[in-house]
Amino acid sequence: MTQRPSQTLLGPVGLVLVGILSVQLGAAIAKGLFGEISPTAMVWLRLVTSALVLAVIARPRFSGRTRRDWLVVLAFGASLATMNWAIYQSFSRIPLGIAVTIEFIGPLTLAVIGSRRVRDLLWVLLAGIGVALLGFQRTGLDLVGVAYALLAGAAWAAYILLSASTGRRWAGFDGLAVASIVAAAGMTLPALLSAGTSLWDGRVLLIGALVGLLSSVIPYSCELVALRSLRPAVFGILMSLEPAAAALAAIVVLQEHLSPLQWLAIACVVAASIGATRSGASTGGPPGPRGPRGEERSAAPGTLAT
């Protein structure tokens, strides 16, 4: 007999936490391979894996689509490719936890912009303090890496907006599957040019597929089950833990330790994200910066950043 979501072994909260840890573990494993393959090629391997799995699951319908449908899904795919490419470029240069923390500013700002209450600007201020604290320890903090993280955050915000539009035009997983195919296709030439023959090494291909499973397939599955019974506000709060999860994954996999001040900066951003999520829930607005992973339930979860 099929179990109800609330009766699963882990429960909905546990499933979301597994998804979060899986995403960041995949990112840490990917970074560990950057000495053998370029970040661009690793992103491509991840996107190809997720695109193949989603295409098999969704079997999207291509006929009968309007020009507007295609423009929206193409833009969605472009934002998806840019978001992933930029964050991989970022954490190839700066610590993973810091890269994800800076990236989080994009969707956090978008969540607060949607609010009509002046006091919600305090969450942006708190997040700004967190980023400013990172600036106090600029030793080893590559400014190009920071810029890439900001670009990833901006692309993430665009992804959120386009995800909702795609979900209204493409049923089920169709839009996400097509967007993933578009993103993978768009990254093919840059990946081939940057990787050379190392891209076809069997070990690299296997690890790339593993990263795709950890960063996309497993979180999709966990979130899809969890969101059947988990309130969006709770989901958004849990998603706010991602910067801390990224830092922990980097410690375990990469021995990438952060200073107390950097941990304080991450804590500020996490607290700001939780505050924005709770505020959005109380006003009936979006559940927070990770809303896209559960937004427009017809669009499917979007665990695609980092």
Amino acid identity, position 206: L
Kindly state the tokens that stand for 303: 């665990």
Assign residue 256 a region: left if phi > 0, alpha if psi is -120 to 50, beta otherwise?
beta
Distance CA 304, CA 27 (A): 11
Which residues, in sequence order, are CB contacts of 67 under 8 Å at separation 6+? none
Q: What is the pLDDT along the chain (306 residues), one digit of tens a residue?
A: 444 544 555 688 888 889 889 999 999 999 998 988 999 999 999 999 989 998 998 888 888 889 999 999 999 999 999 999 999 999 999 999 889 988 988 887 777 776 666 666 777 788 778 877 776 655 567 889 999 999 999 999 898 888 888 888 888 788 888 999 999 999 999 999 888 777 888 888 999 899 989 988 888 778 777 777 777 767 777 777 888 888 999 999 998 888 888 888 888 888 887 777 666 555 544 444 443 333 333 333 344 455
Distance CA 30, CA 303 (A): 16
Amino acid identity, position 131: V
> So what's the pLDDT on residue 290?
40
Neighbours of 175 (CB within 10 A): 28
Question: Are 112 and 123 in contact, with CB atoms under 8 Å apart?
Answer: yes
Which residue in 167, 190, 191 sits closest to 179, CA to CA? Answer: 167
> So what's the pLDDT on residue 76?
94
**DSSP reduced 3-state for 188:** helix
> So what's the pLDDT on residue 136?
67
> So what's the pLDDT on residue 288?
40
Kindly state the tokens that stand for 101: 């923390």
For tokens 């978001």, name the residue: 83
Torsion angle, alpha carbons of 124, 130, 135, 137, to 10: 180
> So what's the pLDDT on residue 306?
59
> Model-level pTM?
0.81
- How many residues make up the chain in this entry? 306
Which residues, in sequence order, are CB contacts of 261 under 8 Å at separation 6+? 133, 136, 137
Q: Specify the DSSP element, H or E, that contains 126.
A: helix 121-135
> So what's the pLDDT on residue 301?
37
Q: CA geometry: angle at 63 spanning 58 and 67, to 5°? A: 110
Q: 192: number of CA atoms within 13 Å, CB side?
A: 5
